[in-house]
Structure formats: C-alpha cells, structure tokens
Amino acid sequence: MTMSGSGVSRRTMVFGCIAGGASALATGASAIEMSPVKVSKDSVHYVTTAQDGHCCSACKLFVAPSSCIAVSGQIGRDCGCRIWLTKAA
C-alpha cells in the first residue's frame, strides 16, 4: 500500500522515521526532536501481549511510564509491536 499515490509505502515511512530517531538517539537529541510525527498502533501491529520477550518496556523507543517515541497513544509496558528495537546494554 502506498501513501497518497506518492509511491512511498507505509512500511518505508515508518522505518525511515525509526532510523531517523535512532540517529538522533546516538547524537543525544530529545524525543521530541527525533519523531515529530507518530504512527498509529494499527500501522505497527501493536498487541497487548508481547511475543518472544519483545515487550515495550524492553524497547529502545519506549518512554516510561506509558508512551513511545514512534507510536501514538498510551503504550503498555508488557505490550509489543513490529518496530521493537533492542535497548543498548
């Protein structure tokens, strides 16, 4: 599926935002600077029961207590989605 006939898929857009956010994290930018536009829970296949230990609280994008740098709305610590990223040790 492309967005508004632009030839850019939703998946490409999401991962582009995530890559930009990861770059900003590495340079010390704030969460607001990293991702001014958040995606919907549906677009990242947000689920209330995480699989394979990929829960939101263990994701690099999670902002305690209940939000995410990339996904809009309230985010549960034990939930998960397709854009989960490992936190640096």
Could you tell me how far CA 39 lies from the centroid of its own chain?
Answer: 8
Q: Which domain holds residue 68?
A: 46-88
pLDDT the model gives residue 37? 85
If one counts the domains in the chain, the total is 1
Digitized pLDDT (tens) for each residue of the chain, 89 residues in all: 444 455 556 666 666 656 555 555 555 544 444 556 899 999 999 999 998 889 999 999 999 999 999 999 999 999 999 999 998 87
Where does the chain show beta strands of DSSP type E? 62-63, 67-68
What's residue 80's pLDDT?
A: 96
- Neighbouring C-beta atoms of residue 85, cutoff 10 Å: 17
Residue 6 located in a structural domain: no
The reply to whether 2 falls in a domain is no
